[in-house]
Amino acid sequence: MVHRFQNAPKYATPTQRLYRFNKNFDHSLFAAAIRHTVALHPSLRLKLVQNKAGWYQCFPDLGPNISAIEVQGKVPGKCLAYAQSIVTEEGRKVLDLRNEPPVTATIISVNGEHLLSLCVDHIAADGISLDLFERALVNSYQNAINGCLSSVAPSQALFRYIAKEVSQRNLEKNNLLYWEQQLKGAPLNLDPNIEISTTTASVYCHQLTGEAFQLLINFCRTNKSSIFHLLAATELLLLARARDLEDIILNIPVSNRILLEEQDIIANLVMPLHVRFSIKPNEPALQFLHRVRNQITDAMVHRQFDYPSLSEFMATEAGKQGFSKANSLLACNLVIDNDPLIFPNDLFAERLDSQPSTGQNVWKTRFEISACQTKERLSILIRWDASTWPIQSDHMEEKFLLTLNKLME
């Protein structure tokens, strides 16, 4: 992420979540709760420092930026529209971690309600961390209400994780060679004429519960694969059929939380893996699924490498193909959350950005499947650039379910 910020800072926008506070929300208790939560987790106080040797990170006693905006007016609709424009602008602000904290909380009061725009820099926290941060913040607020927000020493789990990673750096050279061999001659840009920009996303949502969800779990257990393997295989076949492709690079983010104590670390531990797959005509569905599983497993074994070095290699390979840059925007990810935060709770009435809406943007040429698995359901979100992947939104359900069911036959 530091590499991305250094090369294209204007595209390093934070992750944003939007909430509606409860009616009895207490501003001072919330401010105390979020400061307490940030103090407990070093990465939420991350600062970047650059010297002649390069970038390094430190974790000073740095609180979040907390601000409050009150929207006033006689026309509720106009007030709400203005509040929404504030939220949009907050999500577009690039946080410069050399001079700013990685967490900003903007409280917006409008039409008798209080909203929270919570922005966290990608360098400081990944998607899993945002769920952890969300739960920790509500817990801190509950403690503040009860008057027991006591001083606690910051977690040391992140520093133990960093020490473990440093001790394994001897693996990086061979792992980098593995990735260079995998990606040599690979298709690293779908359209050399497209500049880096966004476009309106086509969106499809699907949810599996009850018997259908259990059927999916049973199939994966029987065939020694995971739900993620099945989703990745489904996406690869969708991509291949949409543009008659036989060679595809799929972006797979790996959480890197292996040990039990690492499950609760709030930080960006994700390593993006660019896994290359070939699509073989007439390959039996189950054989293809197992091949996808084996390739993903092999990629995860080689997950520790110097990413900036691989980026340079990919850029060189793209240049050999006549492209000015490498542009891998096909992604698949699955988050397993067996303890999701329940709304409403002591702090929030609801989370307002959890349901996909029309008007979302994606990077041009992008196609991504994001899924969240809980004990009760599997929620799947597909977003894509329809100008690159010619599948209409009202046709995606048929194509997705047909492909998924074909793999499960």
Task: Examine the domain organization and report whether 146 and 181 are in the same domain.
Answer: no
Task: Examine the domain organization and report whether 297 and 397 are in the same domain.
Answer: yes
pLDDT for residue 5: 58
Domain edge (last residue) among 155, 181, 207? 155
Over residues 340-386, the pLDDT tens digits come to: 999 999 999 999 987 766 568 888 889 999 999 999 999 999 999 99
323 pLDDT higher than 80: no
pLDDT level of residue 139 (50, 70, 90 thresholds) = very high
- Rounded CA separation 136/40 (Å): 10
What is the domain extent for residue 350? Answer: 172-407
State the DSSP code for 346. Answer: S
Residue 186 lies in a domain: yes
328 pLDDT higher than 80: no
Task: Examine the domain organization and report whether 245 and 304 are in the same domain.
Answer: yes
Mean pLDDT of the chain: 92
Task: Examine the domain organization and report whether 295 and 375 are in the same domain.
Answer: yes
Residue 162 lies in a domain: no
Task: Examine the domain organization and report whether 52 and 178 are in the same domain.
Answer: no
* % residues pLDDT > 90 (the chain): 79
Average pLDDT over residues 133-139: 96
Residue 163 lies in a domain: no
Residue 361 lies in a domain: yes
195 pLDDT higher than 90: no
10 pLDDT higher than 70: no
User: What CA–CA distances, in Å, run from 369 to 14, 187, 203, 239, 380?
Assistant: 20, 20, 10, 11, 7
User: What CA–CA distances, in Å, run from 350 to 39, 199, 210, 341?
Assistant: 25, 28, 24, 10
Q: How many structural domains are present in the chain?
A: 2
Residue 401 lies in a domain: yes
How many CA atoms lie less than 13 Å away from 242 in the CB half-sphere?
25
Any idea what the CATH number is for the domain that residue 262 is in? 3.30.559.30
pLDDT for residue 359: 65
Average pLDDT over residues 215-243: 97
Task: Examine the domain organization and report whether 194 and 279 are in the same domain.
Answer: yes
Any idea what the CATH number is for the domain that residue 97 is in? 3.30.559.10
Average pLDDT over residues 224-253: 96
Task: Examine the domain organization and report whether 150 and 176 are in the same domain.
Answer: no
- Rounded CA separation 403/397 (Å): 10
Task: Examine the domain organization and report whether 178 and 280 are in the same domain.
Answer: yes
Listed in sequence order, the residues at least 6 apart from 51 whose beta carbon sits closer than 8 Å to its beta carbon are: none
- Rounded CA separation 8/16 (Å): 19
Task: Examine the domain organization and report whether 43 and 118 are in the same domain.
Answer: yes
Average pLDDT over residues 51-79: 93
pLDDT level of residue 2 (50, 70, 90 thresholds) = low
Written as six digits, the tokens of 252 are 């797979």
Task: Examine the domain organization and report whether 120 and 197 are in the same domain.
Answer: no
Task: Examine the domain organization and report whether 184 and 223 are in the same domain.
Answer: yes
320 pLDDT higher than 90: no
Residue 86 lies in a domain: yes
Domain edge (last residue) among 98, 125, 155? 155
Domain edge (last residue) among 128, 155, 182? 155
Average pLDDT over residues 234-253: 95
202 pLDDT higher than 70: yes
Residue 165 lies in a domain: no
Residue 164 lies in a domain: no
Task: Examine the domain organization and report whether 275 and 235 are in the same domain.
Answer: yes
